[in-house]
Structure 1
Amino acid sequence: MRYVLAAALMVSGGMAQAGGPVVVADEPDVAAVAAPAGHDWTGFYAGLSAISGTFSDDGGLTSDGTGGFGLQAGYLRDFGTLVAGGELAYAKGDYDAFPASDWTSTRLKLIGGYGAGRLMPYGFVGLSKYDVDQTTPLSDTVTIYGVGAKYAVTPKIAVGLEYLVENKTNYDNTGFDLENSEIALRVDYRF
């Protein structure tokens, strides 16, 4: 019986090792999905804007129906979450309440924003040469400030909304304080 048991163990032990050692396959590595790359706001851009707003001075003149259009060109630099740059813009419109009065504004802005991916909220300050074409033309350099937001629809095209205020004490030595408030819908193309 001992011989039968020894023979059975030898045969079964040989069969267990006949195929070689059993190799357990490693589980495949799970690759982490990369987060989508954030939008880079760096670059030159140019665009168009549609403007609506109000005009008033402390002499009692008010126009709630100021409308116009604008052209803008600028450069932004994306530093991660901080975006900074400058913009040169030209805007033209008329005062609905004063049919004989048109206005033009050439603006230089310093822009600071927050790069939140494809969305960039921003603020700005600057100067504007604000001209009023009427019976007696008026012209002066005024301060501007405001806020806005841009959304990158594609890597090259951004749409935005901007609120701008132009104001000046003693506009063109008239003794009147001027304030022009605008909302602009903008479309920019980045080069």
Structure 2
Amino acid sequence: MNKAMYFGRTVAIALPLIMAGSFATAGGLAEPVETVEPVTVMTPAPVRVSGSDWTGFYAGAQLGYGQLEADPALDPTEPDGAIYGVHAGYRYDLGNIVLGAELDFDGTEIEVTNPALELDSIFRAKLSAGYDAGAFLPYLTAGYVEAETSGAADGTTDGDFYGLGVAYKMNNNLIIGGEVLQHDFDGGVLGGANLEATTATARVSFQF
């Protein structure tokens, strides 16, 4: 075999090997492709203030203290005692202002010694207007009151009352609060005496 034929065969065998090596090297030098993970944008849920809506019916109970005062004085000691009862009503939340109507009934442990008189119960029909401060509701209230007495003056007497209160929502249904009320009775069963009463109560209600 002459040298030309030997050289041609050598080139024919070597050329494919050189080209394969070149492709492998080129592939090894290629930069790796990075996979970018999609970014999830978290949208915060709307924040709702618990207890910010006062609209609805409610009912509950109250416990507190009452004191009587009469002019002319029936009893210079200004008799006092415990009061306890139940209440039910409805509130309507207009935004900043909350309007309401309520009925409540109290039994009492208040006794007058001169003359011997017992204040048995107090019934109230209330209207109220308050300010919606989220979970807090400070309010003013006023309305009609009727009291039942026994002893030296056995019967009923009526009048009006006014006062203030505050309610706080523990959650969407449970409400705690308190009221201070001033009552003015016409003295119909007390010989014309102007009977006044001050009450302070703690209250627990359930809103439906």
Counterpart of 2:48 in structure 1 is 36
Q: Distance in 1 between matches of 2:78 and 2:97?
A: 37
Q: Equivalent residue for 2:59?
A: 46
2:170 matched residue in structure 1: 153
Distance between the aligned counterparts of 1:187 and 1:67, measured in 2? Answer: 17
Q: Distance in 2 between matches of 1:189 and 1:77?
A: 15
Alignment deviations for residues 90-145 of structure 1 (CA, whole Å, 9 cap, x no partner): 11102255475132111100011111111111111100111222232142221011
Letter in 2 for 1:68: I
Q: Does 1:187 align with 2:204?
A: yes
Shift of 1:23: 11
Q: Secondary structure at the match of 2:78?
A: strand
TM-score after normalising by structure 2 = 0.73
Corresponding residue of 1:90: 105
d(CA) in 1 for partners of 2:134 and 2:110? 38
Q: Which has the larger radius of gyration?
A: 2
Q: Tell me the secondary structure at the aligned position of residue 172 of structure 1.
A: coil
1:172 match:
188
CA distance, structure 1, for counterparts of residue 46 and residue 96 of structure 2: 19
The aligned counterpart of 1:142 is 159
Q: Quick one: which amino acid aligns to residue 78 of structure 1?
A: D
Contact 1:165 1:182 in 2 (8 A): yes
* Equivalence for 1:59: 72
Distance 1:153 1:64 in 2: 35
Cα distance in structure 2, aligned partners of 1:26 and 1:58: 82
Give the aligned residue type for 2:123: T
Aligned-CA RMSD value: 2.6
TM-score by length of 1: 0.79
- Range 59-68 or range 112-121, more displaced: 59-68
8 Å Cα contact 1:72-1:89 kept in structure 2:
yes
Shift of 1:32: 4.9
Unaligned regions of 5+ residues in structure 1, if any?
1-14
More strand by share: 1
Task: Name the count of aligned residue pairs.
Answer: 176
CA distance in 2, matches of 1:141, 1:29: 65
C-alpha distance in 2, partners of 1:58/1:48? 31
Is residue 70–residue 92 contact of structure 1 (8 Å, CA) maintained in 2? Answer: yes
| Distance in 1, Cα, partners of 2:42 & 2:58 | 41
Query: Counterpart amino acid of 2:48?
Result: P
Identity %: 26
Q: After the TM superposition, which residues 95-134 of structure 1 pair with which residues of structure 2 at under 5 Å, given as runs?
A: 95-96=110-111, 98=113, 101-134=118-151
d(CA) in 2 for partners of 1:112 and 1:159?
Answer: 17
